[in-house]
Amino acid sequence: MKKLTAVLVFVLLAGAAFAQKDSLAFDENNKYIYYQVVQQPGLAVDTLFNRALYFFKTAYPKSALKLDAVDRDKGSLTGSGSFLVSKKSLLTSHEDGSVTFTMRIDIKEGKYRYWLTDFVFNPYQRNRYNAYESIPGIYIPLEKPEGKIEKKDLAAYLNGVLTSSRKIGEKLKEYMTKVSAIKKDVGVKKISTKDW
Amino acid sequence: MKKRFLLCTVLAASLATFKATAATMPADTGKTAAPAADPPLVFSGSVDTYYKADFSGHSNIPTSFANENNSVSIGMIDLALKKKVGKAAFVGELSFGPRSDQSIPTSGYHIQNLYVSYDVTDKFNLTAGYMATFVGYEVISPAGNFNYSTSYLFTSGPFQNAGFKATYAFSDKVSLMAGIFNNQWNYYSSLNAAKTGSGDVSTFGAQLMVAPVKGWTAYLNLVTGSYSGTEFDLTTAYQITNAFKLGVNAATFSAPNNGGGFEGVALYPQIAVSPIVTFGLRGEYFKVKDNGGDVKAITVTSNIKAGPLTVIPEVRFDTKSDAFGAAFTDSNGMATNHASQFVLAAVYAF
């Protein structure tokens, strides 16, 4: 019984450690950052760089993510984008606002790193057509919510930022792993029922 | 032996996971991801209730909604569904209550919005159905307004327009909408369509949106038709700082067959003193054409937010000319040109 309890404790610890893997952090300037380093052994800088470039150009519509700057000598690419955040409940869900961000990818031999930062919140409001739209002119850096965003709301928005950052990271990983896998032009397989 | 092996395996897995995490992450804030799953159907709405006290002891101010005096009364329950799959979307919004009844001319009809839309491209959208009007600053839903009482301009203009419209966005800063709508405002069917089948879709509407600088949007609206008349409307709002916003609404309406009309202007300065409390003023001048008199109204409103609940205390002072049609009377029942009221409302939006 004691051994079984010990096993359960370790399972829980392993789970907790895994849950912390995709956390937001503060960078050296005290700005929220989602930062990852990914090993990609055996792949040349050029290959990884071209895949990252392809990611910026095709992974999302330009309204969601666009390429701003490329420095092939330094192996870095920088872009900017936005995603929606909301406070979700059991039955209702609508956009509370959008969060803009900048994204940078640095390439080295056999590995790359990326981060999302400069998270700025733009609140949405209900319009007359029952759609939620941006309130123009209100832009709040998530590091400076004091007096502008309530604590409970901020926690929900940060969770949204983390979820969206993780999704972007996962999509980048797909592109960086194998470009051909991105082009999902898989036709329907033909099978002959005559010979078996 | 098996248990020991299992224990060792779990321990090794735990350490490996922790090591991978520690190698890639800077200082942790402890925020972890919430499970993300977009609901297939978005459900939202609001309910509102209020208490009104006219200082004369009886109702005077004739603008839309919140009419019962010295009564804890209700506005409406508003329930909206919307869904978008790919480029196609729909919105259906139902409402029940006195505010709903006063906003819809057809008895027993409880629809505020019912339309379908399709994004032909990223910049070009087509929409058809029964929609809240594109004209004016204020709206029917209490969750969409800052003030709880409504302006004379809102009360006199269209509430809904049923029709078909196309919107093209030239850029983030300029877009143009043009459409054809039923000949009569507010109704879901055109005039006489139900009785004779001879209604027509003859009202033309257009809206030019410009956003000259960040935080400033302006809408120039036109709705014109031989049955309902012609209204030009300018609605604009400028979020000058994160705390201060200024809105302006100006309109002129000409009824068909030289039947008079109205014109007016309203200013909406608002200042947020905290994430919870915002103060706002509405100053309006409204004139009925052809010597129908005028009225000036000052409304001081606060929005106090507690999550999805907004508490709205409001005081309002109206002063009219002798020729203005509404009859104001004082506490003795004598005619007067002044009316004032206090409203305490609560709006819960979800």
Query: Quick check: B112 and A130 CB within 8 A?
Result: yes
Greater model confidence, B4 or B81? B81
Q: What letter would DSSP give residue A72?
A: T
Q: State how beta strands A32-39 and A25-26 pair.
A: antiparallel
| AA identity, residue B71 | S
Domain ranges, residue A40: 23-178
pLDDT of residue A88: 67
pLDDT of residue A192: 82
> Residues A139-148: contacts with CB within 8 Å, 24+ apart?
A139/A100, A139/B242, A140/B242, A141/A31, A142/A32, A142/A99, A143/A30, A143/A31, A143/A32, A143/A119, A145/A121, A147/B274, A147/B275, A148/B242, A148/B275
pLDDT of residue A21: 58
Query: Quick check: A130 and B11 CB within 8 A?
Result: no
pLDDT of residue B92: 95
Mean pLDDT of chain B: 88
Query: Quick check: B21 and A17 CB within 8 A?
Result: yes
Chain B interface test: which of A8, A60, A129 (most B C-beta within 10 Å): A129
pLDDT of residue A191: 82
Q: Does A92 touch chain B (CB under 8 A)?
A: yes
pLDDT of residue B22: 34
pLDDT of residue A87: 77
- What top-level class would CATH report for the domain B41-187+201-349? mainly beta
Residue among B9, B96, B1, B107 nearest B45 (CA): B96
Determine the distance in angstroms separating the CA of A27 from the nearest CA of chain B, rounded to an integer.
Answer: 7
CB distance B222 to B178 below 8 Å:
no
Q: Which of A132-141, B52-61, B156-165 has the lowest mean pLDDT?
A: A132-141
Classify residue B334 by burial, with Cβ atoms within 10 Å: 0-12, 13-18, 19+: exposed
pLDDT of residue B18: 38
For chain A, which residues score pLDDT lower than 50?
11-20, 181
Mean pLDDT of B172-194: 87
Mean pLDDT of B151-165: 96
Determine the distance in angstroms separating the CA of B276 from the nearest CA of chain A, rounded to an integer.
Answer: 8
Chain A CB contacts of B32 below 8 Å: 19-20, 22-23, 159, 162
How far apart, in whole angstroms, are the C-alpha atoms of residue A182 and residue B16? 30
Helices B2-24 and A2-20: crossing angle in degrees, nearest 10, is 20
* ipTM rounded to 2 decimals: 0.72
pLDDT of residue A179: 57
pLDDT of residue B33: 37
Question: Which band of pLDDT confidence, cut at 50, 70 and 90, is reported for residue B19?
Answer: very low
Domain CATH number, residue A160:
3.30.530.80
Q: What percent of chain B has pLDDT over 90?
A: 73
Q: Is the pTM of this model over 0.90?
A: no
Q: Is position A167 within any domain?
A: yes
Mean pLDDT of B173-185: 95
By Cβ distance, the residue of B26, B93, B214 closest to A130 is: B93
Q: pLDDT for B223-243, tens place per residue?
A: 999 888 999 999 999 999 989
Does B305 score more than 80 pLDDT?
yes
pLDDT of residue B337: 96
| Domain extent listing, chain B | 41-187+201-349
Chain A CB contacts of B217 below 8 Å: 136
Greater model confidence, B113 or A13? B113
Q: Does A23 touch chain B (CB under 8 A)?
A: yes
Query: Quick check: B350 and A159 CB within 8 A?
Result: no
pLDDT of residue A2: 58
Question: Which band of pLDDT confidence, cut at 50, 70 and 90, is reported for residue B207?
Answer: very high
Mean pLDDT of B215-227: 94
Total domain count, chain A? 1
Mean pLDDT of B159-170: 96
Mean pLDDT of B154-169: 96
Does B338 score more than 50 pLDDT?
yes
Q: Is position A13 within any domain?
A: no
Does B11 score more than 80 pLDDT?
no
Mean pLDDT of B33-58: 78
